[in-house]
Amino acid sequence: MKTRITELFGIEHPIIQGGMHYVGFAELAAAVSNAGGLGIITGLTQKTPELLANEIRRCREMTAKPFGVNLTFLPALATPDYPGYIRAIIDGGVKIVETAGNNPQKYLPTLKDAGITVIHKCTSVRHSLKAQSIGCDAVSVDGFECGGHPGEDDIPNFILLPRAAESLTIPFAASGGMADGRSLVAALALGADGINMGTRFIATKEAPVHDRVKQALVDATELDTRLVMRPLRNTERVLNNAAVERVLAKERALGSAITFGDISEELAGVYPRILQQGDLDAGVWSCGMVAGLIHDVPTVRELIDRIMAEADAIIRGRLAGALA
Ligand SMILES: Cc1cc2nc3c(=O)[nH]c(=O)nc-3n(C[C@H](O)[C@H](O)[C@H](O)COP(=O)(O)O)c2cc1C
């Protein structure tokens, strides 16, 4: 399939694996890129720029295909060494960066001067237009369904994607709720040039997370996510568990007086325990409503081949048939 996203990134299929904290290691990024999609290493999961440089080297040993690095600008207790991470990306010869969380304008000249293609992930048309105006090459448009941070507008993709299509001139990927060939065809129909998937890629053989995490996604339904940190205007969609219930109880009790410190026990530094050790209730972890569409744990190649075969069958079969 050829779209503006496959052309921009030099990839075979219009499928991107969004950066995911403690999931986007070299193994997953390389598997996605080898299967013809765009794999992305999560920059900040590597504690230092030197470790990111090493992760980039490891990824390059596993794939000769293009891959990217995610740089997330979210509120953090200590500001990461972004210039250091960017140096590691440039020195490592990576030509694609996914930015997210905040306006990347400050770092854009350095990235563009190094010949890097930047796809910015955002959750609204106005942020997408801003990204376009400052020189981003593409955007991922994350609907309210998405795992992680859906923003504060609560606009689902059935509205957000066609709104993006009528406003943007740069290519964009539909993100949030994407799982299969139906998602891809629907995203293309709504005006997107491809899809960006997070949660679905966690339930794959190559995702370097504990088997209990993958099984939790297979077991979960579309009813099992919750939104935390709404009062802090840092909303995150997560899989419900005991820690999430505690956070929501504190949010109800403290109302607008709540601070990050009140819930840091459930949030700060919990990802390694959950994703690597499989201690699922150790804290709060991102998950999309799309969990309801995840029923198996295929290899990345099986997943991507299946998505493309399903999309082909829908376009040539059901859709063409409806016109016949
Ligand atoms: C466990 C997990 C961790 C994530 N971590 C990040 C991150 O560190 N940076 C980022 O930009 N997006 C992050 N995301 C968001 C994904 O890149 C992607 O935008 C989102 O998952 C898309 O929605 P979906 O889960 O419905 O596919 C994360 C998502 C999940 C599920």
Q: What average pLDDT does the segment 148-175 reach? A: 98
Q: Quote the CA–CA distance of 11 and 273 in Å, as a whole number.
A: 34
Ligand 1 nearest-atom number relative to CA 177: 26
The full DSSP string for 129-155 is: HHHHHHT-SEEEEE-TT-SB---SS--
Q: Which of 16, 17, 21 to mutate to test the pocket of ligand 1 (most atoms within 8 A of CB)?
A: 21
In the reported structure, the alpha carbon of residue 101 is separated from the centroid of ligand 1 by a whole-number distance in angstroms of 11
Q: How far is the CA of 70 from the centre of ligand 1 (A)?
A: 10
Confidence class for position 248, pLDDT limits 50, 70, 90: very high
Q: What is the mean pLDDT of the chain?
A: 97
Atom 6 of ligand 1 has which residue's CA nearest to it?
20
What is the residue with the minimal CA distance to atom 18 of ligand 1?
198
Structure tokens at 52: 């990111």
**Among 16, 24, 18, residue whose Cα is nearest residue 271:** 24
Ligand 1 centroid to Cα of residue 320, in Å, is: 34
Residue 257: predicted pLDDT? 96
- Contact indicator for 119, 90 with CB cutoff of 8 Å: no
Residue 278: Cβ within 10 Å count: 16
* For residue 76, pLDDT beyond 90: no
Task: Give per-residue pLDDT as tens, 81-126.
Answer: 999 999 999 999 999 999 999 999 999 999 999 999 999 999 999 9
The SS3 of residue 175 is: strand
Q: How far apart are the first and last CA of the chain?
A: 23
Atom of ligand 1 nearest to the CA of 178: 27
pLDDT tens, position by position, 265-323:
999 999 999 999 999 999 999 999 999 999 999 999 999 999 999 999 999 999 999 99
Task: Tell which one of 286, 289, 293, 303 to mutate to probe ligand 1, the residue whose CB is within 8 A of the most ligand atoms.
Answer: 286
CA 234 to chain centre: 16
Instruction: Report the alpha-carbon distance of residue 16 to residue 77 in Å, rounded.
Output: 29
Who contacts 199 (Cβ-Cβ below 8 Å, separation ≥6)? Answer: 147, 217, 286, 287, 288, 290, 291, 294
Q: Does residue 191 sit in helix, strand or coil?
A: coil
